[in-house]
Amino acid sequence: MKYYYNNVPGKGQCRNNLIYTSLINEDKTEFVQWYHNDTEYHKGQNQVVTPALMNEKWERELKFLKFMEANAPNIIPKILDINIPERKIKLAINGADFWEQSNCSAKEFDKVCPDWKDQMLTIISKHVELGLYKFSLHPSSYFVVNGILKSINYFFCYSKDDPLFSIKDILSHVSEDRQKALFPAMTKLGISIDQPEEFFNLQMLCFESFKQDYPANFIEEAKEIYVRSSKI
């Protein structure tokens, strides 16, 4: 296995994930989430540096990935192996992630997966049906396997029964680039940095902060799925 990066225009080679260390095999059929702050990979830039926080993310990933495997296995990649002592999860993939294949540009999503929007909205609808709120929504949080989008990165996923938290509680592991979009969105939605917030409001905030990564109409449709659910 080797380190896996995204090649971002204007930025060059960037870490694929800010929490765990991303690994991939030579023929890009296996992807490993290694919940370890590998200093060579992260080069001192990892937002998660305390063992306790890394372990919390690992346990959340493990919990919700297994939950998805049991309740919606078609939405995630096939789990090939879980190495608990080393905190590694190996997933079956078919090439680079969705964002990387799209040259890190929403303008090329259609070239990689023509019906990506419908598929992604279906995934979001399933999360709603299962009572989940998933805040890791970056396009690199999906792989395309035989034309089908597969969702990953459940370390930032919560169920409706989880304790509420504030933005301040999780800000240490939100990237600086994401924070630039997050703070204006918080102002727009009237969300405080210090007060625990309802998951619905945090999900709306999350969608707002990812507007720069997706076509605007997609974000509005994604938000509407949660809005409709909240009225039932």
Segment 125-172, tens digit of pLDDT: 999 999 999 999 999 999 999 999 999 999 999 998 999 999 998 887
* CA separation for the pair 19, 49 (Å, rounded): 9
- Calculate the average pLDDT of the chain: 93
107 secondary structure, DSSP code: G
Who contacts 93 (Cβ-Cβ below 8 Å, separation ≥6)? 24, 28, 29, 30, 31, 77, 143, 145, 150
The structural domains of the chain, with segments of one domain joined by +, span 2-230
The CATH number of 2-230 is 1.10.510
* CA separation for the pair 227, 191 (Å, rounded): 17
Q: Specify burial of residue 222 (Cβ count, 10 A radius: 0-12, 13-18, 19+).
A: buried
The pLDDT score that the predictor gives to residue 231 is 67
Query: What kind and span of H or E run contains 127?
Result: helix 116-129
* CA separation for the pair 189, 208 (Å, rounded): 9
Question: Which pTM value belongs to this model?
Answer: 0.94
Give tens-digit pLDDT for 180-221.
888 888 999 999 999 999 999 999 999 999 999 999 899 999
